[in-house]
Structure 1
Amino acid sequence: MRLLVTGGRGGYLGRHVVRAAREAGHDVVAVGSVDADVRDRAAVHALVARHAPDAIVHTAYDQSDWDVTATGAAHLALAAARHGVRMVLVSSDAVFSGRSPAYDESARPDPITAYGAAKAAAETAALAVVDDVVVARTSLICGDGRSKHEDLVHRAVGGADVALFEDEVRCPVHVGDLASALVELAAGSRRGVLHLGGADDVSRLELGRLVAVRDGLDPSALRAGRRADLEDPGPIRVRLDSSLAGRTLVTRLRGAREFLAP
């Protein structure tokens, strides 16, 4: 299978997807912004036509740029539909408000942030335009020691003025597990929405303490805070129900308490 991975050159998740796909024996085309600006519809169509992939894994995004996150995904979806290419769109738990105790694949997006709205728009475009598509919603991505979440913990222990929220709950997933799951989906036949969160729901503070213990740091040096005290807190407790992925994928999505164990 020839797999085109957006964000595969410089993106954190994209690089892991490229590695997992190559290890699985696939022909991989890793692309970044130097290859095509996803905001440019003509450039995206030319890119897909030139490389003629069997599937696209779209990991590229920019939390502060609607055109990259939403419009760019729509351009990829249109190109995938035109050329008959399967698409795996990486989405986020940010499409949910956090008002429900948990979210499975039947839950309707109700974003309360600009980024969440952009991801929800990207999902809508992909599901409307591409017949052969998977929308893979995930949570905090970490686990290899190089994620922004793990870097934040090291900076906090080192004295940076950083508080880790004790009331914000997510379902962190190991970047390697997620990458393998995305490659499995790209090579498979499942369609529609699938949640790819980790098995454990943990607070940002607990996640930080797990990272600290794993890395031989002092977890008591981490300062607790409350996201609810912010003027515009955004979603606070978002638990992805990923049991469907657990029943249908070969790849196992471990929980943070397992993959961050010392």
Structure 2
Amino acid sequence: MKLLVTGGAGFIGSAVLRRAVAQGHQVVNVDALTYAACLENVASIAQSPLYQFEQVDIRDAAAVEAVVAKHAPDAIMHLAAESHVDRSIDGPGVFIETNVIGTFNMLQSARALWERQGRPAGFRFHHISTDEVFGSLPADPSVKFTEDTAYDPRSPYSASKASSDHLVRAWHETYGLPVVLTNCSNNYGPYHFPEKLIPVVILNALAGAPLPIYGDGSNVRDWLYVEDHAEALLTVVTKGEVGRSYNIGGENERSNLELVRTICAILDEKRPGNRPYAEQITYVTDRPGHDARYAIDPSRIREELGWSPSVTVEEGLALTVQWYLDNEDWWRALQSRDGVGKRLGTA
């Protein structure tokens, strides 16, 4: 297939591109190169004849129309988004512009291409979203998000993603655009931009800095290794049923405090310091509207498409920690970018 991937210089998008090229797909990386993007993420495939890059901001409707028309992909995988909850609290406007208006622009361009080509049955618009659109779960481990869970977003970020999900479904129902949707749990792994929890903990630990835990650390997330997620996304875009949504989870629930202690234990083994890294844990003011728990039931994608996660969170964290230890040049170059290393989202 020829895949046009938005946000391909980001964390998840770059993993999708690397895996897609390895599978023999042609790929077009469409990215605005905002603060969280890094072309080093796709350096390993940059010289491949299967790879092309276009610097385009999805908020620019004319530019989006031009790039979609130029490349005429078989499928569009729409990952480009503002995604940091703390940043959405401080500055929600860009989240509406990128996640809502940007998705509208992508849908309009996809629809125009699809109609010009005579509405080919094999075309796909794959919208990649988050489990945060479903809101917060109770502590009961038997209760998990399914594809039928009602939407209940509680942050500007999750509200903007919920809005984009609704647009995608509307374009399918109203115009017949062949879409598939996915909602994933928290990702982690190589090339994770150093403002999110796991890279913050790894890099702060190495620097001897405090390891910040919001509130009492009891908030629970379902952790999904990014390479597993990339495989799931390519499975959905090639095999998913039109109009259907698929929840993608790692089946690895951990509280934030448990997660941080696990990372500390891995670092104690791989890069021992003068004292246990867990002694650097520091409790800080909680995030406003902090959801208590996320957990995904991935039964549909497992039973219908045959996908399941390949690693436990302990295995994935060990791989991730080792990657950061081995790739200091990559993360050092990003630490001077806007907002990195600062506490955001306390407004």
Asked if TM exceeds 0.5, the reply is: yes
State the partner residue of 2:235.
184
Moved more, 28-37 or 214-223: 214-223
* Matched AA of 1:88: H
Identity %: 30
Moved more, 127-136 or 159-168: 159-168
2 CA distance for matches of 1:20 and 1:231? 34
Asked if residue 140 in structure 1 is aligned to residue 140 in structure 2, the reply is no
2 CA distance for matches of 1:212 and 1:246? 32
State the partner residue of 1:72.
102
2 CA distance for matches of 1:146 and 1:71? 25
**Does the 8 Å contact 1:208/1:219 carry over to 2?**
no
* Matched AA of 1:92: T
Deviation at 1:219, TM superposition (A): 4.8
Q: How does 1:41-56 map to 2 (within 5 A)?
A: 41-56=61-76
Deviation at 1:224, TM superposition (A): 5.7
Deviation at 1:173, TM superposition (A): 0.7
| TM-score of the pair, normalised by structure 2 | 0.69
**Does the 8 Å contact 1:200/1:257 carry over to 2?**
no
**Does the 8 Å contact 1:141/1:147 carry over to 2?**
no
SS class of match (2:157): helix
Deviation at 1:124, TM superposition (A): 0.5
2 CA distance for matches of 1:242 and 1:189? 14
SS class of match (1:181): helix
1 CA distance for matches of 2:55 and 2:318? 39
Q: What do you get for the CA RMSD once the two structures are aligned?
A: 2.2
Asked if residue 109 in structure 1 is aligned to residue 151 in structure 2, the reply is yes
* Matched AA of 1:153: V
**Does the 8 Å contact 1:205/1:224 carry over to 2?**
no
* Matched AA of 2:245: V
1 CA distance for matches of 2:227 and 2:189? 8
**Does the 8 Å contact 1:3/1:56 carry over to 2?**
yes
Moved more, 118-127 or 41-50: 41-50
**Does the 8 Å contact 1:136/1:194 carry over to 2?**
yes
Deviation at 1:145, TM superposition (A): 6.6
Asked if residue 86 in structure 1 is aligned to residue 106 in structure 2, the reply is no
**Does the 8 Å contact 1:171/1:255 carry over to 2?**
no
Deviation at 1:195, TM superposition (A): 0.8
Deviation at 1:206, TM superposition (A): 1.9
Question: Gaps (5+ residues) in structure 2?
Answer: 33-53, 89-93, 115-122, 320-347
Deviation at 1:261, TM superposition (A): 5.0
**Does the 8 Å contact 1:156/1:221 carry over to 2?**
no
**Does the 8 Å contact 2:180/2:240 carry over to 1?**
no
**Structure 1 moving runs of 4+ over 4 Å:** none
**Does the 8 Å contact 2:239/2:305 carry over to 1?**
no
State the partner residue of 2:48.
none
1:152-192 CA distance string (max 9 Å, x none) = 11234233334224211111111111111111212224232
State the partner residue of 1:95.
133
| Bigger CA radius of gyration | 2
| TM-score of the pair, normalised by structure 1 | 0.89
Asked if residue 260 in structure 1 is aligned to residue 302 in structure 2, the reply is no
1:237-257 CA distance string (max 9 Å, x none) = 111222222223344324413
2 CA distance for matches of 1:2 and 1:18? 11
2 CA distance for matches of 1:186 and 1:161? 41
State the partner residue of 1:234.
290
Deviation at 1:207, TM superposition (A): 2.0
Question: Please, which of 250, 254, 260 is the counterpart of residue 202 of structure 1?
Answer: 254
1 CA distance for matches of 2:263 and 2:135? 27
Moved more, 35-44 or 153-162: 153-162
State the partner residue of 1:220.
278
Moved more, 209-218 or 46-55: 209-218
State the partner residue of 1:7.
7
